[in-house]
Chain A
Amino acid sequence: MIILSFSTFIFSAVYAYIYYTYVFETELRHSDEAVSQISQTISSTASIAAYLEDKDLANEVVNGLVSNDIIQSAALTNQQTVLAKSILFTERDAQSFNLPNPFILQENIGFIHVVPNTQFIRQNAREIALSSVQTLLIVIIPMLLLFAVFSFLLISKPLGQLSQQLTSIIPGSAHRIKISEDHEHTEIGKIGKNINAMLSNTEMLFEQERSLRLEIEQLEKRFRLMFERSSSPTLLVREQGDVTLVNDAAKDLLAGMGVDCEERFPDNLGQYCKTPDILYTFTENSIKQKQVMQAEFEFTNPLTLSSVWLSIIILNTESDGQWYFQVFLADITSRKTMLNQLSHRAQRDSLTSLYNRYGAELTLIDWIDSNTEFSLLLLDLDEFKPINDIYGHNAGDEVLKHVAQSISYIVSNSDLVCRWGGDEFVVAIKTSDRHTINNIAQQLLEAINTPTLYERNGHQLKLHVGVSIGISHFPTHANTLKGLVECADVAMYSIKKTSKNQFTFYST
């Protein structure tokens, strides 16, 4: 309202000033024109006066001019002399008009000098302008005031109320602008309704946003649960190797293995891996090929020094232009142990714990396939059957165990000892040196010939067996295991038939 009144006042003042100046200037111009017109009117009489040098006529003209309000003084001159002049006349301020010869128009015979009454003219113009402005202001000021009041009542005030209401409204809430009945159908009301429509829209959007956020939160919670509580140890690793997420299962597993979760992957695991090179290659390949990779690795637990087997699955995913790999770990130590036990069981003889025939065959075929030179000793016990028959199977078993132990002591770990079946044993030594073989065979003979102590019904018994050993050599005697065994068998039987408790090499 203050601004409106103020601007109304300023506008009136400026307008009044402009109008005043305009009227004033117009009046001055009118007076100038009047002076020139008056001079024109008397010019023919003045011409005659100048022509005849008639001072009386000239005086009459001058007096007539001076009697006019807007003329202060005047003078009439011919070419040489002043014919008539009013008092106060000064040529300096005068406007001069030429007087032509009344009969020879092109000839100039004198001048009429007129000094306008500037003071009177200005005063007059000022009064006219002032009264015009007063009239104007009398009309315009009430109009402007009315305009100001109406615009305040109809526009400013309702707009102010609208904006006041707006400031107290929180978008997304159920608050709406109240529209008074007076403004039901006005522009102000329309603005209010539009704002309300916008607020409703906003509220709806907020509501949608809220429910979406809730949904996302729940989903996130579920996924977090899935990830964190998952029994499957999982890591989320950046392409550069930074570990960003580790779930509880993974933390437990890695802590148990003495691995620091915060260290870079796969270096944190690599230091305890038995085959770190393979682990690094495996990870690199996974990154390069961007595909799911699975492998099993054996680790040494630095805390217990026991062996731990982990199955590692690496899955590459891209998210927001960044490559991540998910690493799923699984402790497969127990499964591995079980499998080892199973294979052990399959390849070992349950009584003597030596390789059984199946286990030996696997190893020996391996040796043959890799062209490893070796000598095969086939041992067959002499006088074993009577022990079984006289003292029972337990005694026989005891003898077999004793023999197996004796052989194991003599043969090194890199070589092979096996219970070939019944009372037959096979020893494979990775050498072709006869002297060494002779030496070993001799030791075997002596060891097996040493009696076994067996307790039966409170009596200490000495059980005694001998052995016949046939020896063949790979690849000298045969290319296949079957061939080698046959050769050794032939050699062994040659002893069985003759001397017993001896060894001999196969000879063609």
Chain B
Amino acid sequence: MNRVLSSLSLVLVLIWCSFVSAESNLVIVVNKHNPIERIEKRQLIDMYMGKYLAFPNGHLAVTLDYTKGHNLRDIFFETLTGRSITQINAYWSRVKFSGKASPPQAYPTIDAIIDKVKTTPSAIAYIPATAVTDELKVVYRFAK
């Protein structure tokens, strides 16, 4: 009896883990010709929050984002900054007002993002780890 229960709970834990990883296992990718190999979380924040629109080597960077309401966007910003998406939106509405920084370009789907990265050497984007192809270079993985 005990054996049945413990094996059942193990199965349940495994299912939950795979679901979470499927949702949050995001990776940061760039064009495969981009010389950048690795990127720091801090640099990521600065790039996505509009502080520096450049890679650590000084080359201009184009940050790609999903349109408002995309569920990956919620997960990404929450994981990256520890802020809710509402707070992030409020931030952008404040920043846009002064015109100093501008938010990343928004695309509606993962495929659109992947296409943009493939065609733009200076692009940087986030996609689920499962969507990575040979034409993309992973520069950052969110810890599990």
On A, residues with C-beta under 8 Å from B are: 45, 48, 51-52, 54, 56-57, 60, 102-105
Contacts and interface: CB of A to CB of B under 8 A. Distances in A.
A52 B50 contact: yes
Interface of B: 42, 45, 49-51, 80-83, 91, 94-95, 97-101
**Majority SS at the chain A contact face:** helix
A48 B94 contact: yes
A54 B81 contact: no
B49 A54 contact: no
Contacts of B42: 104
Nearest to A56: B98
A113 B50 CA distance: 25
A57 B51 CA distance: 14
A105 B45 CA distance: 13
Contacts of B97: 57
Nearest to A49: B98
Nearest to B100: A54
Contact of B81 (A56, A57, A60, A103): A103
Given A45-B94, A56-B100, 18 more contacts: A48-B91, A52-B50, A52-B51, A52-B95, A52-B100, A52-B101, A54-B95, A54-B98, A54-B100, A56-B98, A57-B95, A57-B98, A57-B100, A60-B98, A102-B81, A103-B80, A104-B42, A105-B82
Contacts of A57: 94-95, 97-98, 100
A135 to B, nearest CB: 45
Nearest to A48: B94
B82 A48 contact: no
A425 B42 CA distance: 180
Contacts of B94: 45, 48, 57
Nearest to B99: A56
Nearest to B82: A103
Contacts of B99: 56
Nearest to B80: A103
Of listed B51, B80, B82, B91, residue having the most chain A CB within 10 A: B91
Contact of B49 (A45, A51, A56, A105): A51
A102 B91 contact: yes
A105 B95 CA distance: 19
Contacts of B50: 52
B81 to A, nearest CB: 4
Contacts of B100: 52, 54, 56-57
Of listed A45, A52, A57, A105, residue having the most chain B CB within 10 A: A52
24 contacts: A48-B94, A48-B95, A51-B49, A51-B51, A52-B50, A52-B51, A52-B95, A54-B95, A54-B98, A54-B100, A54-B101, A56-B98, A56-B99, A57-B98, A57-B100, A60-B98, A102-B49, A102-B83, A103-B49, A103-B80, A103-B82, A103-B83, A104-B42, A104-B45
A54 B49 CA distance: 13
Contacts of A48: 91, 94-95
A52 B81 CA distance: 15
A138 to B, nearest CB: 50
Contact of B45 (A45, A54, A60, A103): A103
Contacts of B45: 103-104
A390 to B, nearest CB: 192
A52 B101 CA distance: 8
Of listed A52, A60, A103, A105, residue having the most chain B CB within 10 A: A103
A237 to B, nearest CB: 123
A207 B95 CA distance: 109
A56 B95 CA distance: 10
Contacts of A60: 98
A175 B42 CA distance: 106
CB-based closest 6 A-B pairs: A103-B81, A54-B100, A56-B98, A57-B98, A103-B45, A54-B98
A91 B54 CA distance: 35
A144 B46 CA distance: 70
B115 to A, nearest CB: 29
A105 B83 CA distance: 10
Contacts of B91: 48, 102
Contacts of A56: 98-100
Contacts of B95: 48, 52, 54, 57
B53 to A, nearest CB: 12
A52 B94 CA distance: 12
A185 B35 CA distance: 110
A104 B80 CA distance: 10
A370 B127 CA distance: 172
Nearest to B81: A103
Contacts of A54: 95, 98, 100-101
A105 B80 CA distance: 13
B49 to A, nearest CB: 6
A501 B74 CA distance: 196
Nearest to B49: A103
Nearest to A107: B42
A51 B46 CA distance: 9
Contacts of B49: 51, 102-103
A102 B81 CA distance: 9
A494 to B, nearest CB: 180
A164 to B, nearest CB: 85
B20 to A, nearest CB: 23
B48 to A, nearest CB: 9
A54 to B, nearest CB: 4
Nearest to B45: A103
Nearest to B101: A52
A297 to B, nearest CB: 138
Nearest to B97: A57
A103 B82 CA distance: 7
B89 to A, nearest CB: 13
